[in-house]
Amino acid sequence: MELKASPLIEKQTKMKVIEYAADSFVEKNISDWTQTIDAEKKYWIHVFGLTEEQKVQSLCKNFGIHPLAVEDIFHTVQRPKIDDYGDSLFVVLQMFHVEKEMKSQQISLFVKNNVLISFEESDTKVLLPIKQKIVDNRNNIRKRGEDYLLYSLLDVIIDSYFEIEEFIYKEIGLFENIINNHPKKLHLFQLLKWRKDILRIRKSISPVNDILHTIMRNDVQFFEKENKVYLRDLTDHLLRVLDNLDTHKESVNSLIELYHAQANNKMNEVMKTLTIMSSIFIPLSFIAGVYGMNFDNMPELHAKMGYFFTLGGMGIVAIVLLVYFKFKKYF
């Protein structure tokens, strides 16, 4: 498990506009924004790929996006935040998804009048459910304002946090059996990397709670009061994700402790084996040392069977010690 930033795989900056009302829906690709805003309709402009900077800046200029916000769009390592410019709202978030491994990218959301613009580093499927709801005319998105569309996008982004949290949970569960049976030093490095990734994910998610509370607390011009109720539900979801991540972090810490305990147990077994072997060979070495002194007045040195009696005695000593250690359950 490793958290990676999504590469800018889009060779071109692509734009799609979804124009919808209660009884109509149109989706089309655009290269630049040229049409005028119809007050009776809502517009979701989806931009993915930030490689063509001039094209993105032209779009931002057409909608009067503040230069500081434009800078944040291209600076894709921003801490999640919200900026209220009075007549518009700018939100920066980290979005996560799983493609065999965990990946993250920044998404910027700009809301003004009847228009919502989303800027993604690369095209992912995270926001696809919202588009499908608009196409199928489900969940009242067409009948509500751009503030409800913003809520809906925040909803699927926070749901993506559950996906990444679930992925972490499964990976940790699989790894626990490996640590119990065959701990290796490589496993410790992997656990340390997981803990670092979890902390990074939590750091990227935690500020979203402040964003939601800012919208609920402040009198944002276009955000209707009845729609703020839905933000409370997002806050609950976010707190659940944060609690689960804290649990996973503790699980990883427990696995790290388990690894050290297993490694220490293995070392203790090695030391016990060496100690038993040393205990057996100490008296044998003493006997060999005594009869290796070669004094003339040592009758055993001239005995015909002295060598065999000495070896036999040493064998008996070794066997007696082994039986004693087994009786004491030293091994």
Question: Which structural domains are found in the chain, ordered by start?
Answer: 3-262 (3.30.460.20), 267-327 (1.20.58.340)
| Contact predicate 251/172, CB 8 Å | yes
CA–CA distance, 169 with 3 (Å, rounded to integer) = 14
For the chain, the maximum distance between any two Cα atoms, rounded to a whole number of angstroms, is 121
Q: Which residues pair with 250 in a beta bridge?
A: none
Query: What is the average pLDDT score of the chain?
Result: 84
Provide the token pair at 10.
Answer: 């889009």
List pLDDT tens digits, range 293-331.
777 777 777 777 878 888 888 888 888 888 888 887 777
| 3-state SS class at 64 | coil
CA–CA distance, 91 with 223 (Å, rounded to integer) = 14
Where is pLDDT greater, at 144 or 8? 144
CA–CA distance, 85 with 221 (Å, rounded to integer) = 10
pTM given for the model = 0.77
Is 70 exceeded by the pLDDT of residue 179? yes
List pLDDT tens digits, range 250-289.
988 988 888 888 888 888 888 888 888 888 888 888 888 8
Query: pLDDT confidence of 4, banded at 50, 70, 90?
Result: low
List pLDDT tens digits, range 55-65.
899 999 988 89
CB count within 10 Å of CB 157 equals: 23
Mean pLDDT of 129-147: 85
- The size of the chain, in residues, is 331
CA–CA distance, 104 with 122 (Å, rounded to integer) = 10
| CA distances, 3 to each of 93, 100, 239, 267 (Å) | 16, 11, 21, 33
Is 60 exceeded by the pLDDT of residue 1? no
